[in-house]
């Protein structure tokens, strides 16, 4: 695996890899590990937006909706031009989830010296992500020592289901666009974390071999 990782790092340079998937598909978990492995920096649009919402007392995403495009542009896109990221490769978690945002992401990444070089889609069924969500919810309830009322459960479930709907309606067209550009790498994600990560490295390596510039004699 070390040879594959070295090849991927050399090809990536200061470019970006963008990771997408349904909520609870493991985007941040995989993204953080991939960034550490490649010596890259990890950026999650969800984490950035939630932090900004908290600092500015805004509530765009509380109901499971995606942040409005103008807010995404204002809060997230400037990260591509940050001086502290200038010499680093980037691993992105769902940066540009709303159809139409992908072109602005591509342009901003290019302008900041972090061109989008590959897009990973973590494939997992809606049934499986619901199982994962229920496991996390139940674990949280046990740790708090409090019983959750059915009404609260229904509210939380509705928010999570709205996030799934947002992905299907707004993000799937983004992924189709990246597919048309020849950048999309589907990865089956209903396995252990180690198995998913190993598969990502294998698929990225194969992608690099197909797309990197030929060696000059």
Output the furthest CA–CA distance in the chain (Å, rounded). Answer: 69
pLDDT for residue 216 is more than 60: no
List pLDDT tens digits, range 17-56.
999 999 999 999 999 999 999 999 999 999 999 999 999 9
Percent residues over pLDDT 90 in the chain: 79
How do the residues of the chain divide into helix, strand and coil, expressed in percent and rounded to 5?
A: 60, 10, 30
Residue holding tokens 């970006």?
16
Q: What is the pLDDT of residue 152?
A: 44
Q: Residues 136-149, buried b or exposed e (16+ Cβ, 10 A)?
A: eeeeeeeeeeeeee
Distance set, CA 170 to CA 95, 99, 110, 213 (Å): 13, 5, 23, 33
Q: What distance in Å separates the CA atoms of residue 155 and residue 110, rounded to the nearest whole number? A: 40
Q: What is the pTM of this model?
A: 0.89
Instruction: Give the total residue count for the chain.
Output: 217
Q: Domains (ranges, CATH) in the chain?
A: 2-211 (3.40.50.300)
List pLDDT tens digits, range 112-130.
999 999 999 999 999 999 9
List pLDDT tens digits, range 59-97.
888 888 999 999 999 999 999 999 999 999 999 999 999
List pLDDT tens digits, range 175-189.
999 999 999 999 999
């Amino acid at each position: 695996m070390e040879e594959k990782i070295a090849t991927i790092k050399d090809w990536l340079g200061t470019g970006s890899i963008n990771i997408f998937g349904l909520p609870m598909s493991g985007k941040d978990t995989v993204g953080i590990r991939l960034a550490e492995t490649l010596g890259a920096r990890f950026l999650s649009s969800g984490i950035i937006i939630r932090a900004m919402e908290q600092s500015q007392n805004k509530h765009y995403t509380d109901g499971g909706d995606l942040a409005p495009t103008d807010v995404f542009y204002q809060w997230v896109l400037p990260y591509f031009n940050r001086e502290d990221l200038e010499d680093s490769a980037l691993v992105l978690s769902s940066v540009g989830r709303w159809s139409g945002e992908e072109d602005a992401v591509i342009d901003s990444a290019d302008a900041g010296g972090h061109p989008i070089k590959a897009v990973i889609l973590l494939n997992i069924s809606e049934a499986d992500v619901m199982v994962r969500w229920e496991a996390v919810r139940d674990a949280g309830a046990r740790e708090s020592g409090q019983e959750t009322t059915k009404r609260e459960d229904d509210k939380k479930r509705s928010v999570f289901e709205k996030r799934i709907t947002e992905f299907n309606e707004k993000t799937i067209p983004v992924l189709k666009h990246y597919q048309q550009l020849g950048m999309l790498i589907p990865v089956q994600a209903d396995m252990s974390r180690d198995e998913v990560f190993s598969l990502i490295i294998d698929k990225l390596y194969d992608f690099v071999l197909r797309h990197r510039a030929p060696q000059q004699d």
